[in-house]
Structure 1
Amino acid sequence: MAKVLVLYYSSYGHIAKMADAMAEGVRQGGGEADVRRVRETAPDDVAKSAGFVVNENHALLTDPNELTNYDAIIVGTGTRYGRMSSQMAAFWDTTGGVWAKGGLVGKVGGAFTSTATQHGGQETTLFSIITNLMHHGMTIVGLDYAYEGHTGLDAVNGSTPYGASTIAGGDGSRQPTEIELGGARHQGKRIAELAAKLSV
């Protein structure tokens, strides 16, 4: 059984919902899933005035050395101008010691994201996450086209081969659709299955 970490940052709850769906997929793939969040770095008054939502059901992960306890790591964050959020970047900036020891080499990695608009930087944000994972020597698994949600044209949905995604809307009112959550489940399942094969 692969042990999989779903590590995320979410300002308004969209990514937290996607993280739970990703973990559900991991379990469907026979894996053990831990869902953790990274620390909020915005000042308290800024976070409060912006209406940030913290999911207290998911514990913080602050020690980068904990990453080495997992067979796979799936990283999710909303986009900030086409790249990962500063909160998530700040966490990965602390992983130099893990990198120096090759602590994540050969493990499986994946990414997921959320944007306000349909073309709001989902793919570049996913690649900004994937770049970090590849520098750590991880094998990347995206959202493959066996997931039928990629091909539907009946509604606007976040969907890229590089990772699951959702569209939040400019005011954050749009919640992840079943197609978007299904993409997260599909990717999580694939990652768990591959991680189990590689860790034998």
Structure 2
Amino acid sequence: MTKLLITYYSSYGHMYQMAKAARDAAAENNDYQVKLRKIPELEAAKKAMSGQDPYLQAQEVQSDVAEVTLADLEWADGIVWGIPTRFGNMPAQVKQFIDTAGGLWAEGKLEDKATGIMSSSNTLHGGQESTILSSMIPLIHFGMIFVGSTYGQNPELSADDFHGGSPYGPSTVAGSDGSMQPTEGDLKMAGRLAKRVARVAKGIKSTK
């Protein structure tokens, strides 16, 4: 079976919803074994946001999701990352986890794994595209093969209605107060990316 890891970080639950949609779509194919894992929170962030009810509620909803490990990265044939934007870049939580993977990089354990990235931001132009583009950099250092979202498979990318998404990967807009939720189109694009990463991973695996 092709093994697909969906790993994400989510403060307020938007990226969690996208990750679940990605998992559920990929799991429709019985040839894929899919894991959903969250990237650990930082203690400093817990302390800083512990007074915010939306944060506490979102963390409680995600409490049954296991935290990702380096063994999960090694296990997977393909990896979909859910990376929300922080000032146009990945959040510290994701960077810290990626920085712990140096041993896997040194041994080439992540080379030739298919990978894709989903993102989210408060505003439409709040860094969704720059976050995906900049987050590609360490993944390319790992030797992973980046998979984006095609226009042919994602008609939402050519639609005029409000939604996230780009050819670099799916995304969603939370709104300036965080009250907006992923649209149906956002969730569908997340699912299609997961399926595409799994297909590419399966193809690579078949040639080894």
SS at match of 1:79: coil
**Aligned residue pairs, count:** 198
Following TM superposition, by how much is the alpha carbon of 1:49 offset from its aligned partner in structure 2, in angstroms? 1.7
- In structure 1, the partner of 2:38 is 37
Q: Distance in 2 between matches of 1:24 and 1:144?
A: 20
Counterparts in 2 of 1:116-155, with a 5 A limit?
116-146=122-152, 147-153=154-160, 155=161
Question: Which string of whole-angstrom CA distances, capped at 9 and with x for unpartnered residues, describes residues 171-191 of structure 1?
Answer: 110000000001101111111
Structure 1 unpaired stretches of 5+:
none
**Contact (CA 8 Å) 1:15, 1:77: kept in 2 or not?**
yes
Structure 2 length-normalised TM: 0.91
- In structure 1, the partner of 2:14 is 14
- In structure 2, which of residues 103, 108, 119 is the aligned counterpart of residue 113 of structure 1? 119
Question: Does 2:58 align with 1:71?
Answer: no
Higher fraction of helix: 2
- In structure 1, which of residues 137, 152, 172 is the aligned counterpart of residue 178 of structure 2? 172
Counterpart amino acid of 1:23?
R
**Contact (CA 8 Å) 1:25, 1:187: kept in 2 or not?**
no
**Contact (CA 8 Å) 1:75, 1:129: kept in 2 or not?**
no
* Dislocated runs of 4+, deviation >4 Å: none
Structure 2 unpaired stretches of 5+:
none
Q: Distance in 2 between matches of 1:119 and 1:132?
A: 23
Counterpart amino acid of 1:166?
T
Q: Distance in 2 between matches of 1:31 and 1:196?
A: 9
Structure 1 length-normalised TM: 0.95
Higher fraction of strand: 1
Following TM superposition, by how much is the alpha carbon of 1:42 offset from its aligned partner in structure 2, in angstroms? 4.2
Q: Matched residues, percent identical?
A: 37
